[in-house]
Chains A and B, each alone.
Chain A
Amino acid sequence: MRVLLVEDETAIASFIAEGLEEEGFAVDVAHNGKEGLRLALENLAEYDLILLDWMLPGASGIEICRAIRKEDQTVPVIFLTAKDTVDDVVFGLETGANDYLRKPFAFEELLARMRVLLRSSTGEQNTFHYADIELDLVKHQVFKAGAPLDLTQKEFALLELLLRNKGKACRRTRIIEKVWDIHFDHDTAVIDVYINFLRKKLDTPGQPSFIQTLRGIGYRVNDDA
């Protein structure tokens, strides 16, 4: 899951980015309106969700939201703002935002609202299965044969991407886009390392791996047999 965060206050941007990364999101941060507008319009298809501050130097959150809605009607947008009157909330939502969080907000609430929006934009699914492997988005937990497993953020995000696209090939470039953020230097060898971590933790010994390697293309988890 890749998220664009447009927030000029570095102290706020950094805790949101860190918190979301710990939850397995890839986060791109823009520190002013112009940069936010540029990132949003250049990479719109790659973002699963966009978090916008309202009052920004360069271009306001409202302008960015309008520009996004011109291009894409579906990508979820959440306003994070200190503007708190009913008029402000209504105006923000009418601009095309899906949700509105008043500062200061609880990080847990932000996460919960993001999950609701992501669930409805990708279907109602909260859990993904393959054989005896279960990934629970709400609990943010992976189970193998019913027993909880410890996965790192990147492992979790990678597994989520593969299971979401069960039966389809996940191209290496797509994996980089969705799991790693924009500052990653596009050395895709890191994908192989993380695929190996997943295989070690989740494969049933003595059976072929649940992740298939598509040489030169990427990886795939098959449909259940």
Chain B
Amino acid sequence: MKLSFRNRIALFTAAATGTIIGMVFLLVYGVVYRTAYKHLDEDIQVEKDEILSNLLQTKDSIFIYSMPEWEDKEHQQIEVNPTFLQILDESGMVLFRSSNLQNDILLFDPKLTQYAFFNSQISGQRIRQGQFPIQNEQGTVIGHLTVGISQEESALVLQNLRTTLLIAYPLLLLVLFLSTSLAASKGIAPVQALIKAASGIGGKNMQERLPLPENEDEIYQLANTINELLQRIENGMLREKQFTADASHEIRTPLTAIRGTLEVLLRKQREPAQYEEKITRVIAEVDRLNGMLDQLLQLARLESEQVPLHSQTVHLASFCKTLAERWQSGLEKKNMQAHWQIPSGLTVTTDSKLLGIVLDNLLGNAIKYGHAAGQIYCTWRPETKTLHIRDDGPGISAEHLMHLFDRFYRVDDSRSTKVPGAGLGLSIAKKIADLLGIHLSVHSEEGLGADFVLQFPNLPVP
């Protein structure tokens, strides 16, 4: 059976409280029961003592003194508080019985050697009776005295108590269950309000948030936590939307140029030189498109984290030297110079191919954005165990710095062809660095160049 949360709370509470109440009821009944019979038994004892004082037991004979009391009303009739008496000798013969017993014989258990109390019935009346052995001077049992008194009153009280408790118990449980269920539903009403509000927030109204209660309680914390979660989801959605918009812009722009250039070219007959010029331009656009798609695919692969890592020992100095040779023509084109200061014995354990992509991107970036005839410093700092790639270019202002590793982020904001590239290189470098466990950060101030810092993990102490 599937119970709602409030009914589960109500059921648990009712079960726990019901057990306790049940035990209390049993205890109450037990105490009342014991007390009632204790009184009856005491009355019987008193009666017994009085009778025994009127008996003479000697050898094997029991003499009964005549007592005015024998003729008391309580021994004559059976309607109001009767007391029944019966004296038997050892063989079970009746020596005496009170007149109210008529033909009924009080129950007698000959096996009993000690005194005992038990319940029985006479003429439809519930009675409590005590059976006592009668002993002579030597302590030999020579007969039995049985005293019976009506327990109708006590039985009635006990029966009433039992009935009351048995009726009250389920009623109490029901009331307990219902009231707890009501209280629980009141208690979780704010949660239900939250559920309703939260389920109303979706793609179209993602900027909406749950109302926070004034009281800073658990509900407040829950709402706050959900709101923070929603904020993260919204940020993610915005990032994805921005990425899609940027990617579509970056792909459509060269496509537009290619289509338009060819279309205008085809509108009429032209000189061969014109065809050559336009087609060369189109090829350049196709190359640009292709380069960007390569980067996008690389990013997609990195983000799906399906890049196998082949860690090996890399001699950083010689590794950077081969890298530098690759970039020599690029440096010369801008009349720039690169300075390498990396100790020759230094090794790091990492994937050399991926590290190459990171350094390629950082170096390419430095060349792209550095001033013509500027300097690039690639330095190892032993005290911090960091590799720095620093240019003396225009630097990056603080507002751009925080977005620098975002996909498609371009500092010049122009999306123009002044500085080529789609703004993917640095985010690729960052992704790969994360994958390699290298902490890549950037420090820069406007006008003071940019310093990209690679912090390698688990370096042995030099």
A105 and B264 in contact, given A8-B414, A11-B281 (Cβ under 8 angstroms): no
| Residues from 1 to 25 in A contacting B, C-beta threshold 8 Å | 8-12, 14-16, 18-19, 22
| Residues from 98 to 134 in A contacting B, C-beta threshold 8 Å | 103-108
Partner of A104, one of B252, B267, B268: B252
The reply to whether A8 and B249 form a contact with Cβ atoms under 8 Å apart is no
The reply to whether B264 and A19 form a contact with Cβ atoms under 8 Å apart is yes
Partner of B252, one of A14, A15, A57, A103: A103
What are the residues of chain A within 8 A of B416 when measuring CB–CB?
Answer: 8-10, 31-32, 57
Is A136 part of the contact surface with B, judged by Cβ < 8 Å? Answer: no
Is A138 part of the contact surface with B, judged by Cβ < 8 Å? Answer: no
Nearest A residue to B265, CB-CB: A15
Is B248 part of the contact surface with A, judged by Cβ < 8 Å? Answer: yes
Give Cα A82 to B257, complex, Å.
Answer: 12
In the assembled complex, the CB of B188 is this many whole angstroms from the nearest CB of chain A, namely 39
A9 and B257 in contact, given A55-B249, A103-B252 (Cβ under 8 angstroms): yes
The reply to whether B267 and A15 form a contact with Cβ atoms under 8 Å apart is no
Nearest B residue to A23, CB-CB: B267
Nearest B residue to A19, CB-CB: B264
The reply to whether A15 and B415 form a contact with Cβ atoms under 8 Å apart is no
Is A69 part of the contact surface with B, judged by Cβ < 8 Å? Answer: no
The reply to whether A15 and B261 form a contact with Cβ atoms under 8 Å apart is yes
Give Cα A97 to B155, complex, Å.
Answer: 100
Is A83 part of the contact surface with B, judged by Cβ < 8 Å? Answer: yes
The reply to whether B264 and A22 form a contact with Cβ atoms under 8 Å apart is yes
The reply to whether B255 and A104 form a contact with Cβ atoms under 8 Å apart is yes
Is A223 part of the contact surface with B, judged by Cβ < 8 Å? Answer: no
Is A84 part of the contact surface with B, judged by Cβ < 8 Å? Answer: yes
We find that the number of chain A residues with CB closer than 8 angstroms to chain B is 26
Is B45 part of the contact surface with A, judged by Cβ < 8 Å? Answer: no
Nearest B residue to A13, CB-CB: B257
Is B245 part of the contact surface with A, judged by Cβ < 8 Å? Answer: yes
In the assembled complex, the CB of A92 is this many whole angstroms from the nearest CB of chain B, namely 14
A57 and B412 in contact, given A84-B248, A103-B252 (Cβ under 8 angstroms): yes
Nearest A residue to B278, CB-CB: A15
Nearest A residue to B249, CB-CB: A82
The reply to whether A55 and B415 form a contact with Cβ atoms under 8 Å apart is yes
What are the residues of chain A within 8 A of B261 when measuring CB–CB?
Answer: 11, 14-15
The reply to whether B256 and A8 form a contact with Cβ atoms under 8 Å apart is no
A9 and B253 in contact, given A15-B260, A22-B264 (Cβ under 8 angstroms): yes
A107 and B260 in contact, given A8-B416, A32-B416, A57-B414 (Cβ under 8 angstroms): yes
| Residues from 222 to 259 in B contacting A, C-beta threshold 8 Å | 245, 248-249, 252-259
Partner of B249, one of A10, A83, A106: A83
The reply to whether B257 and A107 form a contact with Cβ atoms under 8 Å apart is no
Nearest B residue to A102, CB-CB: B252
Give Cα A148 to B249, complex, Å.
Answer: 43
The reply to whether A8 and B260 form a contact with Cβ atoms under 8 Å apart is no
Give Cα A9 to B268, complex, Å.
Answer: 24
The reply to whether B415 and A8 form a contact with Cβ atoms under 8 Å apart is yes
What are the residues of chain B within 8 A of A107 when measuring CB–CB?
Answer: 259-260, 263-264, 267
The reply to whether B260 and A19 form a contact with Cβ atoms under 8 Å apart is yes
What are the residues of chain A within 8 A of B252 when measuring CB–CB?
Answer: 82, 84, 103-104
Give Cα A22 to B265, complex, Å.
Answer: 11
Give Cα A116 to B397, complex, Å.
Answer: 46
The reply to whether B264 and A104 form a contact with Cβ atoms under 8 Å apart is no
In the assembled complex, the CB of A16 is this many whole angstroms from the nearest CB of chain B, namely 7
The reply to whether B267 and A19 form a contact with Cβ atoms under 8 Å apart is yes
The reply to whether B256 and A12 form a contact with Cβ atoms under 8 Å apart is yes
What are the residues of chain A within 8 A of B90 when measuring CB–CB?
Answer: none
What are the residues of chain A within 8 A of B257 when measuring CB–CB?
Answer: 9, 11-12, 15
Is B114 part of the contact surface with A, judged by Cβ < 8 Å? Answer: no
Give Cα A16 to B263, complex, Å.
Answer: 10
Give Cα A84 to B268, complex, Å.
Answer: 31
In the assembled complex, the CB of A73 is this many whole angstroms from the nearest CB of chain B, namely 29
Give Cα A146 to B442, complex, Å.
Answer: 72
The reply to whether B412 and A104 form a contact with Cβ atoms under 8 Å apart is no
Is B413 part of the contact surface with A, judged by Cβ < 8 Å? Answer: yes
Q: Mark B311-346, 1 if CB is under 8 A from A, else 0.
A: 000000000000000000000000000000000000
What are the residues of chain B within 8 A of A8 when measuring CB–CB?
Answer: 414-416
Is B285 part of the contact surface with A, judged by Cβ < 8 Å? Answer: yes
The reply to whether A82 and B281 form a contact with Cβ atoms under 8 Å apart is no
Is B417 part of the contact surface with A, judged by Cβ < 8 Å? Answer: yes
Partner of B248, one of A10, A32, A56, A82: A82
The reply to whether A106 and B415 form a contact with Cβ atoms under 8 Å apart is no
What are the residues of chain B within 8 A of A31 when measuring CB–CB?
Answer: 416
In the assembled complex, the CB of A128 is this many whole angstroms from the nearest CB of chain B, namely 23
| Residues from 261 to 285 in B contacting A, C-beta threshold 8 Å | 261, 263-264, 267-268, 281, 285
- State the 4 A-B residue pairs at the shortest beta-carbon distance, nearest first: A57-B414, A11-B257, A19-B264, A104-B256
**A contacts, CB < 8 Å to B:** 8-12, 14-16, 18-19, 22, 31-32, 55-58, 82-84, 103-108
**B contacts, CB < 8 Å to A:** 245, 248-249, 252-261, 263-264, 267-268, 281, 285, 412-417
13 inter-chain pairs at a CB distance below 8 angstroms, sorted by A residue, are A8-B415, A9-B253, A9-B256, A11-B285, A12-B260, A15-B257, A15-B263, A22-B268, A57-B412, A82-B249, A104-B256, A104-B260, A107-B260
